[in-house]
Amino acid sequence: MSQYFGTDGIRGIANNDLTIELSSRVGNALTILKGRPLVVIGTDTRTSKDMIKSAVMSGILAGGGNVIDLGVLTTPAISYITTLYKADFGVVISASHNPPEYNGIKIFDNLGAKLGEAERDFIEDCINKNKTNYSQDFGTMEDDLISHERYINFLADSVDTDLSGLKVVLDCSNGASFEVAPKLFQKLGAQVFCYNCNHTGHDINVNCGSLHEEFLSKKTQEHKADIGFAFDGDADRVIASDCDGQIINGDSIIYILAKYLHSVGRLKGDMVVGTHHTNMGMEMALKECGIKLIRADIGDHFVACEMDKYNCLLGGEQSGHIILKNFAPTGDGILAALQLVSVLKKTKKSIRELNDFFVYPQENINIQVSDKHKVLADKFLQSELIRIGKEIANKGRLLVRASGTEPKVRIMTECIEQKLTKEIANQIAEIVKKVSAGV
C-alpha cells in the first residue's frame, strides 16, 4: 500500500499533509531516479501553487536537475509539453477536482504517462529512508512563455472541421483551463460563453466545474447553446450538457465517441475501456453495436494500463476522465470536448440524438471516515456486502471502495429500479457509518 501516492499522485491539504519538506524531497527524488533530469513543471490556480512548486523545484535544482517553469497550465497540457520538449519528467502541482485548500503533485514520465508503480515506490523509498542527492553542480530554472500556444495548436490540429455556427458554454472551474479552453474554441470559430475563469485560486472548484453540473446545465439552457462543457481544476476531466440542460457524463461521452469511431472504422479492436462505475446500460448498448467494454479499477491510471494491455484507443471514467490514445497518453478534458463537438458537426446530429442508451439508475454516496482502509477491512462490513450482493445478484450490482484522493468511503449501487438502487445505497451507507464510529 502506497504511503504517499494515491490513484492520482500525492495529494493533501497544503501545509498540513502536503508540506514544503515533503514537496522538496519528491523533487529531489527525481534526481536520484535519473541523474540531472530535465523537468517541466506547471500548476493550476490554487493559492498554494507557488509555495509547493518552489519547494519541488528547489529539490530538483539541489540535485542538479534543470527545470522549465510552464506557469499555470492544465495537467494534460503538461503531459504534452513533457514529450514535446523531450523532458525526463513532467510535474503538475494540482489537486484536480478537490477544494482550494488541497494541493497535489502529479508526475509524468518522458512519454507523458503517469509514473508506473516501480517509479512511485522508488520515490517513496527515497522519502522514507531520507535518501537525498545534494549536488555541487546545481541545476538551472527558466520560464516558458509559449507552451500555452503550442498546446492550443496541438488541440486545434486534432480536428479537421471548424466549429462555426456552434454556440458553446464553458465552465472553467476557476482553474487551469481559464485561458486555454476559451482561446481554443474561439480559434476554431465557435461562439463561446465562458464562466468561472477567475484565476486567483481562492475559489477553484467552488460551486462550479465538473463536480457542480447544475451551473453548467443552467447556463447552457440560458444561452440556448448547442452544448456546454465543464472542466475540473486541472482540466483532465470534462462533463457536458445538451441544449435542454441534460447532463452528459463521461460514460455518455465515451459511448458517443466509440460509436462514431466504430462507424468510420477507426475504433481499434472494437473495444473500449471503462471502469467498475461504468453504467450497465452503456455496456449493453455498446455490445449491440459490436463494441466490447473492458472494465478497469477506478482511476485513470488503471484505465490507461488496461488500454495498453488490450491496445485500445479509447477509454475513461464516468467522472469525465477521457483518454484518447491516438492523441495523448493521459486524460484530457478539453481534447475530449473538442472531439465530441467534432462528432456533432460531422454527423449533423444533436447530443441527445447521439446519446441514445438506457441509463441504469445509479446511486453514489461518499462517507467521510477517519481511516478508510480499516473501515473497508472490517469483517462485519464485508459480510454484509456479500449478503447484499447476493440479494441483488440478478437485479443490479454494488461497489464499495476507498477514495484514492480523500479520506472517504465511496458507495455505488446500480439496479434497474431507482427505488431499489437508493434503498441499497442507503442501507450500505448506514453500515459504513456504524463501522466507522467504532474504528
Q: What are the cell numbers at 114?
A: 503517469
Q: How far apart are alpha carbons 352 and 241 in whole angstroms?
A: 10
- Of 123, 141, 139, 119, which is closest to residue 131 (Cα–Cα)? 123
Residue 277: which residues within 8 A CB-CB, separation 6 or more?
298, 317, 318, 319, 362, 399, 412
> Which residue of the set 96, 177, 241, 252 is catalytic?
96
For 137, other C-beta atoms within 10 Å of its C-beta total 7
Closest CA to 377 of 424, 411, 409: 409
- How far is residue 158 CA from its own chain's centroid? 20
Spatial separation of the C-alpha atoms in residues 381 and 384, rounded to whole Å: 5
Give the whole-angstrom CA distance, residue 266 versus residue 64. Answer: 45
Of all residues in the chain, what percent are helix, strand and coil, respectively (each to 5)? 40, 20, 40
Q: Is 96 a catalytic residue?
A: yes
Residues annotated as catalytic are 96
